Each structure stands twice: as structure tokens, then as C-alpha cells.
Structure 1
Amino acid sequence: MPELAGLPLPGEQPQRVVHRCREPFLDAVAPRKALVSFDQPIPFGSGWPPPARTSAATSAPARASNSARNRLTQRTRAAHRRHARGWNTLERLRYEWSTDHPPLEERQIMKLLRVLLVGALATVLTTVGVGAAEAGTAVAPNATSLTGNWTDNGSAMPSIIQGGVGGDNLVVNMSFANRPTAFGKVTSATTFFVTFPDAGRFTGTILGGDVLQWSNGSVWRRVFTGQLVHDINGSWTDGISFRRVTNTGGYVRVTLDNGTQVGVGFARNASTIEVSFTAGGTFLGTVDPNGFIRWSNNTTWSHPILH
């Protein structure tokens, strides 16, 4: 029978048949092109590639195959990571430029504008609070402006300029006495301070709007710089002697005919002057439109040209 032809006869020893060892089940190099493709990435945790079989009898070619398989696995994971990053970038850009969300650049500009607005508001609040922080009280501009010419009794001729953002800054011109300019600030409706570079800092109180009481005891009065009801410049007489009066910007000077100064003063308003005489005494003079000066000591001066 043909199927029994290959069997050994009775009494014969069967022949030893040696077959060549089978090839490994998985070639670690052949599938490389398929694994690096991004068309169908293989998810992690699916059990592929299978772990390499190791044993004490593993040959050198098998160890080489395991090493190649490990390198391939690392490359595949790196490829998956690059693929995932690329997908996330595309999705993020699609999200940023969608109609429901403003672009990234626009959001950054809006955030910058908010920061600038907050900074500007903080600057304004800080500037407004400078005077209050320095004085210890809230800044309240005085009801009457201090701008104008001032004097103690007619001899001093300082001038004040009040201004600034809140109207609370003071500049005091002391050039009449060859002194440096002083600067100060209004601290309330009736108080202020001025720092004189050559004398120090002094506080002041506003009394009635036309009188400044200083912390060192000095008193400044406002000078009226307008036109009086009668021009007082020229020669005057009381019927016994003559006096010459000059009015320069509200500052009044009284001299004898020989030029000797005998009195200094200032104009309070359009019809009142105040003069301090060297002989003694400070008197108020009421200027009469008809050409008379009637003094508070009951003395009357007249213009000799008119009378």
C-alpha cells in the first residue's frame, strides 16, 4: 500500500529524521515600515507588541532581535507623542479661532488693557492722596483763593500763586527781599503750610480770606491792587505841612518833600488804605472821591491842587 511504503520493516531500526529549526514567529525588523506610519496609530495598552520571550538558552541573534524590538517600541511611542501633540495643537487653534471664543491675540490685548486701566486708576488715586498723606488730613481747597499780593504792614511785598491739579499748590514769591521762592500746599479750607528754603516750614491759618496768620506769629494781609476811588499819588497837606503819597500796585509810601520816608502801608480796598508811620501809630485812611483822605485819628489830608 502506498501509505505504508515509508514505514520501516519489522526488525529494522527507524531512521532518525532531523528537521531544520523553524523561523521565529515574529520578525522584529520586517514590520518597521508599518509601525512608523501615522495612518492607523496603535493605541498603547493593547498588548502589542508582545513581550519578548527570554530564557537562559536565548541565542545571540534572539537577543539582537529583542534589542531591535525595544528600540522600535521607543520610536513608536515617540511617534505617537508627536502625533498627539500635533492633534492637540490643531484642535487648540480651531478652538481659539471659533466664533464662540475670541482669538488668543485679542484676549491678550484685552488683558493688557485691563492691566493698564488698573494702573492708571491707581496712579490717579495716589496723586489725589499725596496732599492728604503729607498733611495727615483730607485735602479740601480753601473757599478763597490765596493768589495775589500780600504784606505784613506795607514793608514786605510777597506774592502768592495758588494752583495745581486740585488747586491746593502754593508758590510764594519772595524776590522783593532777594529770598528764594517758597512752595507749599493747602491742607484744608482754612489751613496751609509753606516751606521756605532759607527759613524752614511754617503753617498758616486763613482768617476771613484776607488775613494769613502764620505759626511764627507773623500776619499777612491781602493787598488791593485795583484802582482807588481817587488817585492818591501826589502831594497832600493837613494845612500845616506837606506829604507826598505814592501808590504802586497797592503798596503805599508816604514821604516828606525832601524824600524822607515817614510811612508805609497798603490799600485794603478801593476806598481804604492802612499806613504805619515812623513817628508812631498805624492808621486807616478813607479815600474820599472828592480829593480827601480822612484818617482814623481824625486828621484830614487834602489835595492842594483841588482845594
Structure 2
Amino acid sequence: MAAYFFASPVDVDIKLEAEDDRKKVDLKLEKESSVSCPVYYDGDAVAGQVTVRVRDGKKLAHEGIKVEFIGSIELFYDRGHHHEFLSLSQELAAPGDMRAAQTFDFLFKNVEKQYESYQGINVKLRYFIRVTISRRIADVTKERELYVHSFRMPPDSNNSIKMEVGIEDCLHIEFEYNKSKYHLKDVIVGKIYFLLVRIKIKHMELSIIRRETTGAPPNQYNESETITKFEIMDGAPVRGETIPIRLFLGGFELTPTFREVNKKFSVRYYLNLVLIDEENRRYFKQQEITIFRIPEVSR
């Protein structure tokens, strides 16, 4: 099994070409740490240099050095099983001895990156460069993360959402959102109409919920998390009252909607409207929205 440990006889450094010119994303690692990753897009070449330095002037005997560009999905309930949907490999050096530092160039041209990077509760989709120095005792490996963003064309049809919440002879509310599909920096604009109010509503709140689904039945896992929640009304409304909604998405850590990525996971978003009466009873209505990424316009 490949291992990278501190007693390694070499240091391996992976540098990505023009990485300082790329947008960066902070990728969370374990134990509260994070690493800054350059952002790539579908079709971008992934190029760079690998430098191998021999420690203490010793000779390194190896059975070949290779570099790989890998895209994989890791399901946390299925630890140890990484589903690789992309795997490209190049040989950097034939078997031999190394006595001094050596630098190798690599280039993966026009690479199709069909999925966006994602780091969730139960699943991680990651892209990385891996260098492997094959040795008779134990291989030396080093990985370097990068991040992929995928653009989608704005949908042709983008209808408004109209819904009703009602309890017979007690409550009748209609609410309307300006559209059902939003880009990551968009604004949700809506209105809530009170047509009949015969129960004492204490307050009302709107939240955005992200639902992550991994696996397939019977081993399917659903995790929901509230991205944001805010109160849109405090106190009892009266019949005929209209409450406007304006929610800016740009301030939240959202991803696009993902559906059946490699048949391994999905990520969906919902607007959740909750009404709470004076007896703390809760009435709610949930509506799925689609979120997509468009190229950012530089100002």
C-alpha cells in the first residue's frame, strides 16, 4: 500500500502552472484547517512541475516516477472505496537512481471535467494531482488539490412559483416567488398574501435548506442543513396584508444544484416557509428551487 511518511528519503513539491493568476477556493481539511486551491474549468489544461529533492545527499533508488490527474467521489459511509471517474497518468522518470534534485514538467491537455468539486456532509467530489515514486520498500506519494467549477447555461424557462398554505376556515395564505431557478449571486424576490387569518400567528420565517442525498436504497442517506433562516414577520397579520420578500443569495455558501452526480449523490435546495402561532404550532410549506453557476463578470 502506498504511504507518505516523514521518514521519506525525498521531498516532493507540486507546482501548478500560473496558479497565482487563478481564482482561489479555500478547501476545508480535517481538524479545522484549510488549503487554498486554484480553480479550473472544464476543458482547461492542467500543467505544472514536480520537483523531487533527495534528502541528506543520499542516493534514491526508485522503480519509476509517475504523475496522475484524478477525479474521485468519496462517500463517507463507504470509507476506503473511492470511485474514480477520471484517471489520467504520465510517466515522469524511468527506473533508476537519483542523487540530486530533479524537476519534471507535466501536462494534461484539454481535460474534460464533467462534474463540479463538492465537499458535503457525507460525500466529497475532489480533483487532485498525485505523484508516486515507486520503491521496493514503500512508495512515496504526494497529492495536490485543485478545485473545479462548472458553468451551466441559464434555463430557457424560468417560471414564477405560486403556492398556497391553508387550514380550512382558519388560514389561507398565498406566496409567490419571482422565479424557480436562480444563479449563485441572484436575488429571490417574492410576496406573501394573507387572504384569511383566523388564527393568531406569532411570527413567520423563511429558510433555505440544502438536502444532500447519497447512495441508493436501501443504503441511502439524506442530510439536511439550514443555510440561512430569517424572520419575515413578527406579530399577527391581518386579512389583505402583503409582505414583500427580498433575499440576496450572494452572501451564503451555496453550490449549484446537483442531480444524480455519477449516480452517487444529489444536492438540492428548498425554500421553507414556516408560520408559528401563539400556541407554538408550526405550519410550513416547502418548495424546491434550482441553483446554477454562471461566469462571473469582472467589473
Q: Same fold by TM-score, threshold 0.5 exceeded?
A: no
In our comparison, the structure showing a higher alpha carbon Rg is: 1
Q: Which has the higher strand share?
A: 2
Higher helix share: 1
> TM-score band, normalised by the shorter chain?
under 0.3
Of structures 1 and 2, the one with the larger relative CO (CA 8 A, separation 6+) is: 2
